[in-house]
Amino acid sequence: MTINPKALGALLVALAMSMGCSGASPGSNPLVHGMESPPDEVVEGCDMAQKKCTRCHTMDQLLTTKVGNPEAWRMYVHRMRLMPGAGIRAVEEPKIVKCLVYRSFGSEGLATLEEKAK
């Protein structure tokens, strides 16, 4: 078997990105990847989620977790914030929730969160 240099290159790029040495250029966050014109708050929240949640979870876990409704994300993020050593600040919680809810349920999901917050 020979190693295809192109595939190797792609692998190294992916590795560098997963180690976070590519800087915070927009679009390098897999949580945001594929979103069409996400709101700023969502992008911000996804950056936080990428930094904080991956202390204990793999990005893959975050990307593949399915929840039934926006409220479930809110509860998860709250519970995770209270984990010892999570290092998630209270002000970050709602933003991370927005990222995850937007990913799973789009802007309609976000709207239900905002309804509740009133």
Residues that bind ligand HEC (CB under 6 A): 49, 52-53, 55-57, 62, 65, 76-77, 80, 83, 85-86, 88, 96, 100
Going from the C-alpha of 2 to that of each of 5, 6, 8, 82, the distances in angstroms are: 9, 12, 11, 48
Name which of 2 and 64 has its Cβ closer to ligand HEC. Answer: 64
Q: Which amino acid is at 81?
A: R
Please, what is the minimum distance in Å from the beta carbon of residue 73 to ligand HEC? 7
Smallest separation (angstroms) from ligand HEC to the CB of 25: 22
Radius of gyration of the CA atoms of the chain, in A:
16
